[in-house]
Amino acid sequence: MRSRCFAKCRRAHATPSWRSASWQAAASWRPRSPIAGFRATGSTRAPCSSPTRSTPSVAVLGGFIGATASGITSTLGRGGSDYSAAIFGACLDAAEIQIWTDVDGLLTADPRIVPQPRVVPRISFAEASELAYFGAKVLHPSTILPAVGKNIPVRILNSRRPENPGTRITADGRPEQGQLTAIACKRDVTVIDITSTRMLMAHGFLRRLFEVFERFKTAVDVVTTSEVSVSVTIDDTRRLEAILDNLRNFAEASCEREMAIICAVGENLRADPTVFGRAVTSLDRIPLRLVSQAASRRNVTFVLRDADVPQAMTRLHEQFFGRQ
């Protein structure tokens, strides 16, 4: 990719200028979750934007590498290269940030599960974040955060087919009327059921419950509640036994492995109630363990057996996007 970039600069009669990015992004870490911060200051802008020659100059920077607050070179974790591009684009107030990958853009479903999914032409930042969090592999959830803060469009393009328009991520997506935007899935998750009559008409129970997950630094994905029970999903099971032991100090707790989450995402879920109904009815006769709709009403999640994912994804895709 770097050689292609330099060749393109030459054809445009611009001088490519390699710059080290390691001093421009500060990285800090916590287990399984790298967090990078950046300082959008004049000292960051100047080396990236000011030409050093009379001829046009294009700054070429490597991604994925950053530095800690103390100046120690470090990496930015999964999605670090794309995140680097978003950081520099935000620092420079770019008109558009382009992420070049090996696919034509964000797809309506995972092509390894659903044959011949479609490219999503336009999507909102919020929808893209939901899809990335629940399994879309093109983007890491944190990648577009710098762009969101500056309201800079992000375009996903295919470096092998540059003529394709790709997917444009903006503040407001424009899905077709009555349609979902895309479907994603997260596989190999575990459902934990917590049951206690102490929940009934009591306060403080949920706080105590979630303190257990905080103590063992385990993130929760989906949450559903009833009068006397709570069900949650996790994908990090390294501390599962310890979590169950702690929960059993004040409630009955059990788990079910080999489950999956399917997330149907679309701004139309907020405005058109028939979209939710069509999504549920398309999964007729497939056992659903949990069903949850986010407070934003931008997505609906289904928890089901991992073995049922291919059939469920295919049905949802055919319902909203038809057959190719």
Q: Which domains does the chain have, with CATH numbers?
A: 2-171 (3.40.1160.10), 183-321 (3.30.2130.10)
Which amino acid, residue 111?
Answer: P
Which pLDDT score is estimated for 176?
66
- Please list, residue by residue across 17-51, b when 16 or more beta carbons sit within 10 angstroms of its beta carbon and e when fewer do: beeebbebbbbeeeeeebebebebeeebeebbeee
Contacts of 270 (CB under 8 A, 6+ apart): 296, 297, 298
Q: What is the DSSP letter of 216?
A: T
Q: Is the pLDDT of residue 206 over 70?
A: yes
Q: State both tokens at 10.
A: 């030459």
Q: Quickly state the pLDDT bin for 175 (edges 50, 70, 90).
A: low
Among 58-72, 86-100, 201-215, 302-316, the minimum mean pLDDT is found in 58-72
Structure tokens at 78: 């999964």
CA dist., res. 146 & res. 88, Å (int):
9
pTM of the entire predicted model = 0.78
- Mean pLDDT along residues 252-265: 96
Mean pLDDT of 222-249: 94
Percent of the chain's residues with pLDDT above 90: 42
Q: Can you read off the two tokens belonging to residue 33?
A: 């979750």
Burial pattern 172-186, b for ≥16 Cβ within 10 A else e, equals ebebeeebbbbbbbb
Phi, psi (5° rounding) for residue 152?
-100, 125
% of the chain with per-residue pLDDT over 70:
73
Question: Cβ distance 191 to 290 under 8 Å?
Answer: yes
pLDDT tens-digit map of 16-51 = 555 555 544 444 444 444 445 554 333 444 445 544
Higher per-residue pLDDT: 15 or 71:
71
Question: Higher-confidence residue: 5 or 268?
Answer: 268
Average pLDDT over residues 89-93: 85
